[in-house]
Amino acid sequence: MTEIQTITAPKKILFVNTRAPYGSSMARDALDALLAASAYEQDLSVLFLGEAVFQLLRNQNPKAISMKNLAATLPVLPMYDIKQIYIQESALSSRGLSIDDLVLPAKVLGEDEIAALMDSQGAILSF
């Protein structure tokens, strides 16, 4: 019989968002997976790349297209102990956006820092 392994240090897991909200279900799926994963006391980070920076824009109101407001749920992440929230600097600037346009205080990263962040993970889930 194999012994049951004792649980060691929490695993570092990075959730990478790459899609704009509402055009597909990917943004919602990422958030659902992230909130579910938060129950397992792992070391979670979330990164918004490219089009995904649009998920964080203020003043979203998708009532008329019968979708749930993503920007209303994203600010709860710190309450689920998800405090490592990152955003791609070039994705923001190329879309004419600044950190003040966002619903969450995310840490802005350059491409080298994003590479380092990914290198440090035990697992990466891309949405």
Partner 1 sequence: MSLLHTVNKSAFNAETLLNCLAICQAKHSVLLIEDGVYGAMKSSPCRNQIEQLSAQGVSFFALAPDVKARGLGDMLIAEVTLASDQDFVNLVVLHSATQSWY
- Is residue 60 at the binding interface for partner 1, with CB under 8 A as the rule? yes
- Is residue 71 at the binding interface for partner 1, with CB under 8 A as the rule? yes
CB-nearer residue toward partner 1: 43 or 89: 89
Segment interacting with partner 1, rule: CB under 8 A, options 8-16, 18-26, 31-39, 110-118: 18-26
What DSSP string runs through 18-82? -S-SSSSSHHHHHHHHHHHHGGG--EEEEEE-GGGGGGGBSS--GGGGT---HHHHGGGGGGGT-
Query: Residues in the site for partner 1, rule: CB under 8 A?
Result: 20-23, 50-51, 54, 57-65, 67, 71, 94-97
